[in-house]
C-alpha cells in the first residue's frame, strides 16, 4: 500500500515518524508555511529520515500533479490551509482529512480555538473521508480529551497531532485488509461552522464575560495571538496568563485592583480575575509588577 501525506505544518511530523518506524511506503507533500521556521523544521526532519518529500507551491496547484503521479492508495491530510478540490484529485485516490474538531460541530479552519473559547468540557477531533463539501464527509474515527485548565491552543494542536496517529493507523489497517470502513453515527451532534477568528473574537469584553470565559479566551489565543486583547486608555494590552480568584467586588466590570501580590480585575459576574502575565507596550510584564508601568488601582480595562 502506497500512502500519501499532505500538510503545510509541523503537525504532520508525528504521523511521519510513525510511518518511518513502521517502514511504510509513503510520500509527503509539504506546502510552504507562512512561518520559515516550520518550513525548515519539516525539511530537516525529512532530510534526516530520508523521506520522499515534495515541496509544494503557495497556490496549491502543484498538489494535483503530485496526487496523479503518485498513484496513492490512500492519502491523509493533516493541517493543510488550502481547499482541496476533490474533482481534481483523481477518482482512484481516497483522501481522509484529520480535523481537529468534533464534526459535524466546529466545521471550519480553526476548530481548536473555538472549542477552547467556548469552554467545552471535552475537546474533540475526527478523521473523515473528504468529499466535495468541506468538512461534511463521513466520519470514520473520533477522539475526545478532557479540557484541562493547563491546555492552550498550541498544546492541544500538538496533542491532537500525536493522537490522530491512532486513527490513521486504524484506517490503514482496515484498508490493508480490504474491509469496509464503518461510518460513525454523529446525528446527536449539532452541526456548526466557525470562521477564522477576527479582531473582535480575541478582545476581552469585561461587561459580558465572566472570569472563566476570559480564561478560556486567553488559552484559545495562546500562543498564536500572544494572549487575549484588552485596552487601557486606548493602549493595547495582551493578557497571556490569568486565573479566577476566589474574591468578588462591586466595582464596575474591568476595574483594576492592584495589591502587593498580583493584579486583579473585576469581571461581569463580579468575580475577580488574577492576571499573572501580560504584554504592555511590547514587553512582558508580570501582574505583580504592573503598577510600576502605569497600571494603577481603580482604573478600568476596556474592550475598545
How does residue 91 score in pLDDT terms, banded at 50, 70 and 90?
Answer: low
Rounded to 5 degrees, φ, ψ at 174 are -60, -45
pLDDT cut 70: percent of the chain above it: 99
Q: Which residue is listed with cell 491530510?
A: 77
CA distance 101 to 125: 4
Q: Please report the pLDDT score of residue 299 as a whole number.
A: 87
For residue range 11-61, what is the model confidence (pLDDT) as tens digits? 999 999 999 999 999 999 999 999 999 999 999 999 999 999 999 987 778
How many angstroms separate the CA atoms of 55 and 63, rounded? 9
Q: Which pLDDT belongs to residue 10?
A: 96
DSSP 165-200: HHHHHHHHHHHHTTPPPPPPP-TTSPP-B-----GG
Closest by CA position to 189, among listed 88, 98, 106, 92: 106
* DSSP symbols for 20-38: HHTT-EEEEEEPPPS-HHH
Classified as helix, coil or strand, 144 is: strand
Rama region for 288: left / alpha / beta (φ>0; ψ in -120 to 50; rest): alpha
Establish how many alpha carbons lie within 13 A of residue 72's alpha carbon, considering only the half-sphere containing its beta carbon. Answer: 28
Q: Tell me the helices (H) and strands (E) count for the chain, helix number first.
A: 6, 13
For residues 53 and 27, the answer to whether their CB atoms sit within 8 Å is yes
Domains of the chain, CATH where assigned: 2-176 (3.40.50.12230), 199-293 (3.10.25.10)
Radius of gyration (C-alpha) of the chain in whole angstroms: 22
Gap between the Cα atoms of 55 and 8, Å rounded: 9
Distance CA 127, CA 139 (A): 6
User: pLDDT per residue over 226-279, tens digit each?
Assistant: 999 999 988 899 999 999 999 999 999 999 998 777 899 999 999 999 999 999
Q: Which residue has the higher pLDDT, 93 or 15?
A: 15
Amino acid at each position: 500500500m502506497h500512502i500519501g501525506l499532505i500538510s503545510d505544518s509541523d503537525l504532520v511530523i508525528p504521523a511521519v515518524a510513525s510511518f518511518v518506524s513502521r517502514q511504510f511506503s509513503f510520500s509527503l507533500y509539504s506546502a510552504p508555511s507562512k512561518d520559515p521556521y516550520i518550513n525548515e523544521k519539516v525539511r530537516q526532519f525529512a532530510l534526516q529520515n530520508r523521506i520522499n518529500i515534495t515541496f509544494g507551491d503557495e497556490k496549491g496547484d502543484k498538489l494535483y500533479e503530485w496526487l496523479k503521479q503518485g498513484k496513492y492508495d490512500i492519502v491523509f491530510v493533516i493541517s493543510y490551509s488550502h481547499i482541496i478540490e476533490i474533482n481534481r484529485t483523481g477518482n482512484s485516490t481516497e483522501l481522509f482529512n484529520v480535523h481537529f474538531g468534533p464534526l459535524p460541530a466546529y466545521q471550519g479552519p480553526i476548530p481548536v480555538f473555538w472549542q477552547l473559547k467556548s469552554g467545552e468540557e471535552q475537546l474533540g477531533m475526527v478523521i473523515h473521508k473528504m468529499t466535495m463539501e468541506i468538512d461534511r464527509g463521513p466520519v470514520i474515527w473520533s477522539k475526545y480529551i478532557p479540557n484541562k485548565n493547563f491546555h492552550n491552543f498550541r498544546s492541544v494542536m500538538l496533542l491532537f497531532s500525536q493522537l490522530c496517529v491512532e486513527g490513521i493507523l486504524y484506517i490503514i489497517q482496515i484498508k490493508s485488509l480490504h474491509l469496509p470502513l464503518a461510518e460513525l453515527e454523529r446525528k446527536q451532534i449539532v452541526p456548526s461552522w466557525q470562521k477564522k477568528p477576527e479582531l473582535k473574537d480575541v478582545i476581552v469584553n469585561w461587561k459580558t464575560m465572566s472570569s472563566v470565559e476570559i480564561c478560556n479566551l486567553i488559552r484559545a489565543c495562546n500562543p498564536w495571538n500572544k494572549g487575549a486583547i484588552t485596552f487601557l486608555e486606548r493602549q493595547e494590552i495582551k493578557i497571556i496568563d490569568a486565573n479566577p480568584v476566589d474574591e468578588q467586588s462591586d466595582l464596575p466590570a474591568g476595574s483594576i485592583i492592584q495589591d502587593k501580590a498580583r493584579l486583579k480585575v473585576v469581571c461581569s459576574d463580579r468575580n475577580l480575575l488574577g492576571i499573572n502575565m501580560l504584554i504592555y507596550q511590547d514587553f512582558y510584564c508580570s501582574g505583580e509588577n504592573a503598577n510600576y508601568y502605569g497600571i494603577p488601582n481603580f482604573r478600568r480595562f476596556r474592550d475598545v
